């Protein structure tokens, strides 16, 4: 009976760990694959290799290495929301840049190739981006 209980407990642990999704080890990610312009429907994200600088209407200067915009909201790349990103292991972090506040968002990358980016947000929603540039 004890042996059966241990086997059952072992199976439960294996199933639970399998449900967590794939974790990509830090040394398996080629960050250079992230650079460029990505699209999911009307939403775009651009990951820059080097930071860019934008002067806001207020005259304040913001430095960032990423941007996002949604063309369905009539927003183009020149008006995109800027963010700073880091990629460590499977954790992709966006810190949306503002003058007075920085809003962090964390994503779990499940796949990154030269043409496809798939990540999951904190709400369990999976996003599938295709590289367009």
What pLDDT is attached to residue 49? Answer: 95
Question: What CATH number did the domain enclosing 65 receive?
Answer: 2.40.128.280
Answer whether residue 13 is part of any domain.
no
Q: Six-digit token pair at 25? A: 């080890």
What pLDDT is attached to residue 28? Answer: 66
Q: Which residues of the chain have pLDDT under 70?
A: 1-28, 98-100
Task: State how far the Cα of 104 lies from the Cα of 113, in Å rounded to an integer.
Answer: 24
Number of domains in the chain: 1
pLDDT digits (tens, 9 = 90+) for 26-63: 446 789 999 999 999 999 999 999 999 988 778 888 88
Answer whether residue 11 is part of any domain.
no
Please enumerate in sequence order all residues whose Cβ is within 8 A of that of 105, keeping only pairs 6 or more positions apart, or say none: 93, 94, 95, 96, 121, 122
Answer whether residue 29 is part of any domain.
yes
Q: Quick check: 47 and 65 in contact, CB under 8 A?
A: yes
What pLDDT is attached to residue 25? Answer: 53
Answer whether residue 7 is part of any domain.
no
Residue 98 domain boundaries = 24-131
Answer whether residue 77 is part of any domain.
yes
What pLDDT is attached to residue 1? Answer: 57
């Amino acid at each position: 009976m004890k042996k059966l209980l241990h086997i059952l407990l072992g199976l439960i642990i294996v199933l639970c760990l399998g449900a967590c999704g794939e974790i990509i080890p830090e040394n398996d990610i080629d960050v250079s694959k992230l650079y460029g312009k990505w699209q999911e429907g009307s939403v775009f994200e651009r990951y820059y290799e080097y930071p860019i600088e934008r002067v806001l209407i207020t005259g304040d200067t913001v430095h960032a290495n990423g941007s996002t915009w949604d063309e369905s909201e009539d927003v183009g790349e020149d008006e995109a929301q800027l963010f700073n990103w880091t990629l460590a292991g499977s954790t992709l972090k966006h810190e949306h840049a503002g003058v007075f506040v920085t809003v962090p968002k964390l994503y779990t990358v499940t796949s990154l190739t030269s043409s496809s980016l798939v990540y999951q947000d904190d709400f369990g929603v999976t996003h599938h981006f295709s590289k367009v540039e």
